[in-house]
Chain A
Amino acid sequence: MPIRFANVHKSFGAKEVLRGVSLTIEDGECFFIVGASGVGKSVLIKHLVGLLRPDAGDVFLDEEEVSRLSEHALRPIRKRCAMVFQSSTLFDSMTCAENVALPLRKHRGLGAADALVEARRRLAGVRMEGFADALPAALGDGLRKRVAIARALTLEPEVVLFDEPTTSLDPVSARRTDQLIARLCRDDGVTAVVVSHDLSSIFGIADRIAMLYKGGVRFLGTPEEFRACDDPVVRQFVRGEAEGPMEV
């Protein structure tokens, strides 16, 4: 399911966040969208599932124009295209198992009890079976993220959007999350779109990288090209330097 952003513009009030972003993401790719904090990476991927609408430009998913669909018509898209939020967005009134069971109950037509059994099996897939009955508030960021990933994967989506999956995780949890994403692409043929500024993830698992800067795409290419790029802004980002031409 190829994804195409065509000249997407988006402003919040007077603040222009996206000023004409054009990108194509191929099937089965592990695609990273990188850039400084607040540059609009999350904003961009939220357009893909219709959580945000562009002010101008179009977003295509499999040649279907997502940006024009109604909330109702977006439902089938959202079943094929899952999202793992930066804040995990687990429902805090439910246990982890109930969180994962919800989409099963709603979309697979499972009864409440069957959905819970299946949810435990899914949690085992991310090594979280021991926390099935815990409330999300009782877990740390890394564990919550794993539950969120299990929940996003319940409907066997073709595309998974990850919004900063490794931010605020310890290095070990972060690499495990990277592994999980890489396995999804390699073994299950899932297209992963990852928003990140974690250099270890970027150079660890990305197939291609797009760097956003000042509302547009500043760089597009493979990790090797990214490392070797002689654009001073890109070089400053790759090296993580405090001084340089980059403006926030």
Chain B
Amino acid sequence: MSTAEPGWALPAILGRRTLALLSQLGGLALLARDLGRAARPEAGGLDRVELVRHLHRMGVRSVPVIAATAAFTGGIMVLQAAPFVEQFGAKDFVGFFATFVTFRELGPLLIGLIFNGRVGANNTAELATMVVTEQVDGLRALAIDPVSYLVLPRVVAMTLTMVALVLVGDAVALLGALGVAQVLLDVSLAQFLDSALSRLETWDLLVGLVKALLFGLGISLTSCFHGLRVRGGAPGVGRAVNASVVASAAGIFVADYLSTFLLP
């Protein structure tokens, strides 16, 4: 029924979506440019007090969720590999397989998604609430640049935090994989570690960390952008959070895909 309306014709929907996507990308680019300007010392520079506060709130307090996620991820990887290990008799490869995939792909990806849900959404909600309750105007009236005071410490904190969390997550995932391999597949500790350490390269770990850096930067910019752009009072805050989380999730998958191919 609604297809009869011109606004719902497929080209119209596609056009609207494309325009919305482009305006979002443009807004992100502008925010990134403003950030570059705000980082200069004469513009206020990086606020240390805020940075420390966000590092604690976003980083330290995310460790339990991230650690639990990572432990399960490591376990799941071994579980998925189990049938093939049994089929091809490749017990020597379990350690390598689990760590390789976790370090390079699943670790950053899953931690990124959880981080997006926890920290990204929270960040958008906080900034959007500040805009709606005029706290951002209050900041401007105090001659303090919102980008340098609000956005810059958040972006730096989220990016650093994401990398640190992936490092922690990698370590915990290794333990999870080790446990499941031992219990389910009867792969010994030595066998597992030997398999992982002999075949794994530093580069595999680095690829994961580079991804974490990209995801952290993407999530932080997206969540700040959506938070500051909020429209329409209190209900707008919910909408902004929703839009930010979905946009970041899509961004994570696209960035993951690109970096998988570009970082061999």
Contact = CB atoms under 8 A, between A and B. Distances in A.
The answer on direct contact between A and B (beta carbons under 8 Å) is yes
A89 B138 contact: yes
Interface string B120-140: 000000100010011101111
A87 B133 contact: yes
A107 B44 CA distance: 9
A102 B137 contact: no
A177 to B, nearest CB: 18
Contacts of A92: 133, 135
Interface string A65-85: 000000110111111001101
Contacts of A85: 134, 137-138, 141
Nearest to B142: A103
Given A89-B135, A105-B49, A82 B141 contact: yes
A220 B82 CA distance: 85
Nearest to A80: B143
B149 interface: yes
B144 interface: yes
Contacts of B144: 102-103, 106
Contacts of B141: 49, 51, 78, 82-83, 85, 152
B180 to A, nearest CB: 41
Contact of B135 (A51, A72, A91): A91
Given A105-B49, A106-B44, A106-B149, A91 B138 contact: yes
Interface residues of A, number: 30
Contacts of A105: 49
Interface residues of B, number: 19
Nearest to B149: A106
A101 B161 CA distance: 27
Contact of B143 (A79, A87, A89, A151): A79
Interface string B39-58: 00001100001000100000
A78 B135 contact: no
A37 interface: no
Nearest to B52: A112
A77 B140 CA distance: 11
Interface in B135-161: 135, 137-145, 149
Interface in A41-66: 46, 49-51
A141 to B, nearest CB: 13
A127 to B, nearest CB: 22
A71 B141 CA distance: 11
A15 B21 CA distance: 29
User: Which interface residue of B126, B144, B145, B149 has the most chain A CB atoms within 10 A?
Assistant: B144
B49 A89 contact: no
Nearest to B130: A91
Contact of A89 (B44, B53, B134): B134
B232 to A, nearest CB: 13
Contacts of B139: 91
Given A72-B145, A85-B134, A91-B138, 19 more contacts: A49-B141, A76-B143, A77-B143, A78-B140, A78-B143, A82-B141, A82-B142, A83-B141, A85-B141, A87-B134, A91-B130, A91-B139, A92-B135, A103-B143, A103-B144, A106-B44, A106-B143, A152-B142, A155-B142
Leading 8 A-B pairs by shortest Cβ distance: A89-B138, A78-B143, A83-B141, A75-B143, A79-B143, A89-B134, A89-B135, A103-B142
Interface of A: 46, 49-51, 71-72, 74-79, 82-83, 85, 87, 89-93, 102-103, 105-107, 112, 151-152, 155
Interface of B: 43-44, 49, 53, 126, 130, 133-135, 137-145, 149
28 contacts: A50-B140, A51-B137, A51-B141, A71-B140, A72-B145, A78-B140, A78-B143, A79-B143, A82-B141, A83-B138, A87-B133, A87-B134, A89-B134, A90-B135, A90-B138, A91-B138, A92-B133, A93-B53, A93-B126, A102-B142, A102-B144, A103-B142, A103-B144, A106-B44, A106-B142, A112-B49, A152-B141, A155-B143
